[in-house]
Amino acid sequence: MNKRFISALMIILTGVVFLTVGVLTAADIPDEIVINEKGYKQDKKGPVKFMHKEHYEDHKLTCTECHHVYKDGKNVWKQGDPVHKCGECHDPLKKDGKVVTLKNAFHKNCKTCHKELVKSGKSTKAPYKKCTKCHEKKS
Ligand code: HEC
Ligand code: HEC
Ligand code: HEC
Ligand code: HEC
């Protein structure tokens, strides 16, 4: 076998390996998430069905709009790093400096973006006012 053929083969094989890894990783990212945390003082509102994939695929949001790990005030999380649940850092009961409570973490993340989209005219239906656009009715 000549060298050129071997290097072409190596390139193809490397591509296959990367593709496989890519597919495996994608499978670990949930398409849809029902957010229903425990530990609040009161559980006043119903669960929130969140179309995860629609947000990063159809709405083309980068992961770091929502996922973060701060170091010296900067978000150092990057795609491929392990994803921690919001509740691992945001406590449902108490805030710790800039680390807001869990409810506020969700509300600030979800509603702030939606509100900006509507105010800037980029969307007419991104929900931020009506509770039932996100929260299911409590049974
Ligand atoms: C853009 C989506 C969105 C909208 C709109 C929204 N919320 Fe939420 N809210 C969430 C998410 C996500 C959580 C976290 C859910 C959980 O942990 O169960 C949450 C949690 C909460 C919680 C704490 C959990 C609980 O069940 O007690 C309360 C209280 C709450 N929201 C009240 C409201 C009220 C009142 C409104 C309307 C004025 C509202 N929310 C509108 C997304 C939203
Ligand atoms: C619009 C906000 C948003 C965007 C954009 C987003 N995510 Fe998420 N993601 C969430 C929320 C909210 C959860 C649920 C976290 C929880 O349950 O505490 C989640 C959960 C996950 C989980 C599951 C974590 C677990 O242990 O259950 C993975 C993996 C993940 N996201 C990866 C990604 C990747 C990779 C991207 C970019 C391609 C991305 N996310 C983009 C908001 C987002
Ligand atoms: C590894 C710990 C960690 C995880 C996991 C985490 N956060 Fe945070 N979050 C922080 C810290 C620390 C800050 C304060 C950052 C700063 O110094 O400004 C913060 C700040 C925020 C803020 C800004 C608050 C404000 O006042 O503007 C929002 C919103 C937020 N987080 C939402 C989320 C959501 C939603 C998730 C899950 C998808 C999440 N966080 C997961 C640690 C975390
Ligand atoms: C960085 C921006 C951003 C963040 C953060 C974000 N969203 Fe959205 N969301 C969007 C966009 C863009 C749309 C599409 C609006 C449209 O179609 O006009 C949307 C639409 C929605 C819709 C309406 C779906 C439909 O088509 O009827 C729901 C419900 C929703 N988001 C829930 C959430 C929840 C819950 C969170 C927080 C966990 C969240 N979003 C965080 C950008 C965001």
Of the pLDDT bands very low, low, confident and very high (cuts 50, 70, 90), residue 130 is very high
Average pLDDT of the segment spanning 88-103: 97
| Token output for 9 | 């083969």
For residues 75 and 6, the model is more confident at 75
| Token output for 5 | 């053929």
Average pLDDT of the segment spanning 35-62: 97
Asked if residues 136 and 46 have their Cβ atoms less than 8 Å apart, the reply is yes
pLDDT for res 93: 98
pLDDT for res 131: 97
In this structure, the residues whose C-beta lies within 6 A of any atom of ligand 2 are: 28-30, 33, 35, 50, 52, 55-56, 61, 63, 65-67, 79, 83, 85-87
> How confident is the model over 110-128, as pLDDT tens digits?
999 999 999 999 999 999 9
State whether the Cα torsion 131-59-36-76 is positive or negative: negative
| Token output for 100 | 């807001």
Place of tokens 């591509």: 15
Which amino acid residue places its CA nearest to atom 36 of ligand 1? Answer: 131
Distance between CA 5 and CA 55 in Å, rounded? 43
Nearest-atom index, ligand 2, CA of 57: 38
Distance between CA 33 and CA 31 in Å, rounded? 7
Please provide residue 7's backbone torsions phi and psi, each rounded to the nearest 5 degrees.
-70, -35
Of the pLDDT bands very low, low, confident and very high (cuts 50, 70, 90), residue 24 is very low
Asked if residues 89 and 99 have their Cβ atoms less than 8 Å apart, the reply is yes
Average pLDDT of the segment spanning 86-90: 98
Place of tokens 């869990």: 102
Measured from the CB, is residue 107 less than 6 Å from ligand 1?
yes
Average pLDDT of the segment spanning 85-100: 97
Mean pLDDT (the chain) is 89
> How confident is the model over 25-34, as pLDDT tens digits?
566 899 999 9
Place of tokens 């890519």: 22
How large a percentage of the chain has pLDDT more than 70? Answer: 82
